[in-house]
Structure 1
């Protein structure tokens, strides 16, 4: 393209007229950056007088006016109209991480080592929930001592009924259907007769209002009962009952139902320690009340 008599300096193979000095400076800055881009790509010098432009003109190619610049590819960071912008930052920073909203809790469990105070917290939380008029049922386990020595565990319902869960065995197991955890022999029949009716109580699902079921605890002794495992699983996957229960800390061979509970998104698990056991009660009660909404 030939410059007219009114045209100003030639820029990038084209012309511009009545352009401010500021526009010329910006155009030159973009030209330098474009030249660097072409050199990196192995295309030789870019701009006016380049060999590629000469070859194009010999073939009849003529640059079109585009503001101040020729139709050559614009250098990164340059804008039509003679102004420059900061280089793009795309790719320098990772895209914002998508975070999913946590699932609303439907059940609450306490965990911690033996003797840390889980059952005591369950009993205190039960009293608070009952005083609020919340329907609640279930059971907790209690140590049985004789002469200062622990001889076993009992199951105690919220209504005060008591049954044997386990007792210290007299020696190595000789019965074919004997269930043992360490030195304790589990009385599976006694446990099921007392606990299962509480989990299957029709009153817990007889109205639209949610209820609370205390299950203290879901551990090795209790999980010998397949009927108990099935009943707990049904409550976990249902919608009418909120479980406030306890589970042991992982130790030895994983317990299937315990690991499932621990991994479920809709279960809130409180880890009880010596440092927090005297101050965590309100948090536990508030979590259960939130599940009931």
Structure 2
């Protein structure tokens, strides 16, 4: 049975850092997927960038983007999800290569505004593929349903466990 872990935590607790560290610690697995990060101008957050684990990067959402969709004050560029994020997961289709692990940061409102990405997540979680993804702690219908699925392990990321978590997950995923 494949491993399916959702790393749940509040904004800023270290979910993205944990996923990046996990990817760097893997020796016998090939991570595919993406991470997201804030774009700041001085002290102000003005957007979010998506970076694939193979180094491609694009602006996913920004205060200057018109949308739709708009998530809070950010317009979201769905092409980034539909092209860049999905292509980062493409090595998993139609079936997984030996040793490949899907890492997704994050299953949040901006990312899930893409219906193609939501469908890809559903497909990943029914396939014979190991998946580690981050998810916000607040309630939303799509992610609430994922958290309740059979076979999903929900791990709460906190300030107390965030530093040890990547090493623990790497050891577990490489056995």
Larger radius of gyration: 1
- Tell me if 1:219 matches 2:108: yes
Preserved CA contact (<8 Å) 2:28 2:99: no
Q: Which of 135, 138, 144 does residue 33 from structure 2 map onto?
A: 138
Pairing 1:243-254 to 2, within 5 Å after superposition: 243-251=131-139, 254=140
Preserved CA contact (<8 Å) 2:32 2:91: no
Preserved CA contact (<8 Å) 1:107 1:244: yes
TM-superposed deviation, 1:222: 1.0
Residues 141 and 204 of structure 1, relative CA distance in 2, 3 Å threshold = farther
Gaps of 5+ in 1: 1-103
Preserved CA contact (<8 Å) 1:109 1:244: yes
Match of 1:193, SS state, is helix
Cα distance in 2, alignment partners of residues 224 and 287 from structure 1:
32
- Tell me if 1:162 matches 2:60: no
Aligned residues, how many?
Answer: 175
TM-superposed deviation, 1:213: 1.1
TM-score by length of 1: 0.55
The structure, 1 or 2, with the larger RCO (C-alpha pairs under 8 Å, 6+ apart) is 2
Pairing 1:230-269 to 2, within 5 Å after superposition: 230-239=119-128, 241-251=129-139, 254-256=140-142, 258-269=143-154
Preserved CA contact (<8 Å) 1:117 1:277: yes
Cα deviation 1:121-150 (Å, max 9, x = unaligned): 000010111xx1312211000111112321
Preserved CA contact (<8 Å) 2:8 2:154: yes
Partner residue in 1 for 2:167 = 282
Pairing 1:1-293 to 2, within 5 Å after superposition: 106-129=3-26, 132-169=27-64, 178-201=68-91, 205=95, 207=97, 209-239=98-128, 241-251=129-139, 254-256=140-142, 258-289=143-174
RMSD of the TM alignment (CA)? Answer: 2.1
Preserved CA contact (<8 Å) 1:244 1:288: no
Partner residue in 2 for 1:78 = none
Normalized per residue, the structure richer in strand is: 2
Residues 230 and 203 of structure 1, relative CA distance in 2, 3 Å threshold = closer
TM-score by length of 2: 0.89
